[in-house]
Amino acid sequence: MWVSVPPTQSHDRYERIFAEVEAPFAFVDLDAMWANADAMLGRAGGKPVRVASKSIRCRALLEEILRRDQGFRGLMTYTLAETLWLAEQGFDDLLLAYPTTDVEALGELALRSAASPDGAPIVMVDCPEHLDAIESVLGADAAPVRVCIDLDAGWWALGGRVKVGPKRSPVHTVEQAIALAREIEGRPKIELDALMAYEGQIAGVGDTPPGRRLRGAMIRFMQRRSAKELAERRGAVVAALSEFVELEIVNGGGTGSLELTSAEAAVTEVTAGSGFYAPGLFDHYSRFTLTPAAGFALPIVRKPSPKVATALGGGYLASGSGDPARLPSPWLPPGLKLDPEEGAGEVQTPLLGEPAAGLAVGDRAYLRHAKAGELCERFDVLHLVQGDEIVDVVPTYRGEGKTFL
Ligand SMILES: Cc1ncc(COP(=O)(O)O)c(C=O)c1O
């Protein structure tokens, strides 16, 4: 395994590197990304890490990551159209993590499954309707389509009155998982190959929210209890299913839970995506520290007063609960702040804080997105930096004309 040293990140350094690039632009600092990648492999404790494409959204970087180390194995994809496109581009070992009702794409998947029964993408199911949709496109002589059961990894407290975790799959108990697996067994054109359980309430929730000590303590309590409950339930589901099916894959986890999920004997692989770019929402975890690796630069276009620098663009909000943590965060020079009245604007973003006084029209400010892959929906290309130079400029999904979500 490689061991990378994170780079020193400063406004001056990036201004030198990007002197010839017109802002706004987005970039990935490869030294930081590889330091994050290596740290995540370490945290996965030797279990393979499936790479979440939704958090990368750049084909060239997905290829680089998979080439980097054998510990990165396969992609976790997010729509069937994307999955089929990646398969066409030569990617294999594809696990689509979210169910689909796209009948046209399912038709294409059926063709691909016939051409490559063991290597076709695996798609997610959690109810008989998903199985019906798959069967609806299969002819009498079709090869089986490979599926994965999505097991709800949420934590149910107070006898089920409080449910913590992503609201996705209705399959929560061992009995429900067996019932769905038996349903699949009764359908000869569908093959159950995998189980996935994503514990978003652990992997995707930072346990040291800034300025909120009590909330942090509550999150840590919830995560400890949830991890223990899930380890037992996931193990029991895998044991029960293994009585009558051979599961190729038992997937779990995300950037925020690699060390916890990979320690479970029943889990064969973990997933990570966000940790490569290390966006703002991943700054507040007690279990690890990542190096910011993706950012965007905005030009300062006006000075409404000597202490305020107003940038062009910047309103790239992250999906989710709509709280202020979903706003982009001013990054370099350090100490810049968003204006609480205006936040990050559709075309203008005023920047406050001490360093704003030192920014002149024509300078640039550097910001980070709160989430990972969504940055790539705003820019056609990513400038890749290594050492003190731009080593490549590669298209994002959007730059390839691919806007899947
Ligand atoms: C099914 C699934 N697995 C894993 C992840 C973790 O991805 P990341 O490492 O990008 O947070 C997610 C994120 O939402 C997910 O939906």
Q: Whose CA is nearest to atom 3 of ligand 1?
A: 198
* 8 band by pLDDT with thresholds 50, 70 and 90: confident
Mean pLDDT, the chain, as a whole number? Answer: 97
Question: Which tokens in the block code for residue 228?
Answer: 């223990």
Query: Quick one: which of 318, 296, 402 has its CA closest to 59?
Result: 402
Can you tell me which atom of ligand 1 is nearest the CA of 272?
9
Query: Quick one: which of 271, 275, 287 has its CA closest to 373?
Result: 275
Instruction: Taking residues 210-214, report their average pLDDT.
Output: 94
Question: Which tokens in the block code for residue 96?
Answer: 């689509």
CA distance 146 to 36: 32
The tens digit of pLDDT for each residue in 343-373 reads 999 999 999 999 999 999 999 999 999 999 9
Question: Which tokens in the block code for residue 246?
Answer: 């051979």
Give the dihedral sign, CA 223/229/122/128. negative
Pocket test for ligand 1, best of 47, 61, 76, 250 (most atoms within 8 A of CB): 76
pTM over 0.85: yes
CA distance 264 to 202: 14
Question: Which tokens in the block code for residue 84?
Answer: 């089929």
Three-class SS state of 30: helix
- Gap from CA of 359 to ligand 1 centroid (Å): 37
Give the dihedral sign, CA 189/172/98/223. negative
The beta strand positions in 306-398, using DSSP E, are: 308-312, 329-332, 337-338, 348-352, 364-368, 381-386, 389-395
Q: How far is C-alpha 185 from the chain's CA centre?
A: 31
Question: Which tokens in the block code for residue 175?
Answer: 């009995």
Can you tell me which atom of ligand 1 is nearest the CA of 372?
10
- Gap from CA of 312 to ligand 1 centroid (Å): 31
The tens digit of pLDDT for each residue in 159-199 reads 889 999 999 999 999 999 999 999 999 999 999 999 999 99
- Gap from CA of 346 to ligand 1 centroid (Å): 28
The tens digit of pLDDT for each residue in 252-287 reads 999 999 999 999 999 999 999 999 999 999 999 999
- Gap from CA of 271 to ligand 1 centroid (Å): 7
Instruction: Taking residues 73-89, report their average pLDDT.
Output: 98
* 2 band by pLDDT with thresholds 50, 70 and 90: low
CA distance 48 to 30: 21
Parallel, antiparallel, or unpaired: how do β-strands 294-305 and 269-272 relate?
Answer: unpaired
Residue 267 has phi, psi (to 5 degrees) of -85, 130
How would you class 192 by CB atoms within 10 Å of its CB: exposed for 0-12, middle for 13-18, buried for 19 or more? buried
- Angle at the Cα of 199 (from 195 to 200), degrees rounded to 5? 130
- Gap from CA of 253 to ligand 1 centroid (Å): 7
* 3 band by pLDDT with thresholds 50, 70 and 90: low
Q: Whose CA is nearest to atom 15 of ligand 1?
A: 198
Pocket test for ligand 1, best of 271, 276, 284, 371 (most atoms within 8 A of CB): 271
Helical (H) or strand (E) element with 115: helix 103-115
Three-class SS state of 165: coil
Which DSSP string corresponds to 365-390?
Answer: EEEE-SSSGGGGGT-SEEEEEETTEE
Q: Whose CA is nearest to atom 14 of ligand 1?
A: 200
| 309 touches 335 (CB < 8 A) | no
- Gap from CA of 198 to ligand 1 centroid (Å): 7
- Gap from CA of 210 to ligand 1 centroid (Å): 23
- Gap from CA of 57 to ligand 1 centroid (Å): 13
Query: Residue 111: how many CB atoms within 10 A of its CB?
Result: 14
Q: Whose CA is nearest to atom 4 of ligand 1?
A: 254
| 65 touches 37 (CB < 8 A) | yes
Can you tell me which atom of ligand 1 is nearest the CA of 150?
1
- Gap from CA of 335 to ligand 1 centroid (Å): 31
Instruction: Taking residues 17-46, report their average pLDDT.
Output: 98
Query: Residue 9: how many CB atoms within 10 A of its CB?
Result: 18
CA distance 30 to 373: 16
CA distance 263 to 47: 9
- Gap from CA of 275 to ligand 1 centroid (Å): 10
Question: Which tokens in the block code for residue 386?
Answer: 């290594």
Pocket test for ligand 1, best of 40, 43, 54, 123 (most atoms within 8 A of CB): 54
**The pLDDT of residue 79 is above 70:** yes
Instruction: Taking residues 298-308, report their average pLDDT.
Output: 98
The tens digit of pLDDT for each residue in 47-76 reads 999 999 999 999 999 999 999 999 999 999
The tens digit of pLDDT for each residue in 283-300 reads 999 999 999 999 999 999
Residue 353: the pLDDT is 97
Ligand 1 pocket, Cβ-based, cut-off 6 angstroms: 52, 55, 76, 97, 198, 203-204, 254-255, 271-275, 372
Instruction: Taking residues 33-42, report their average pLDDT.
Output: 98
**The pLDDT of residue 40 is above 80:** yes
Q: Which residues, 6+ apart, have CB-to-CB distance to 336 below 8 Å?
A: 330, 351, 352, 353, 355, 356, 365
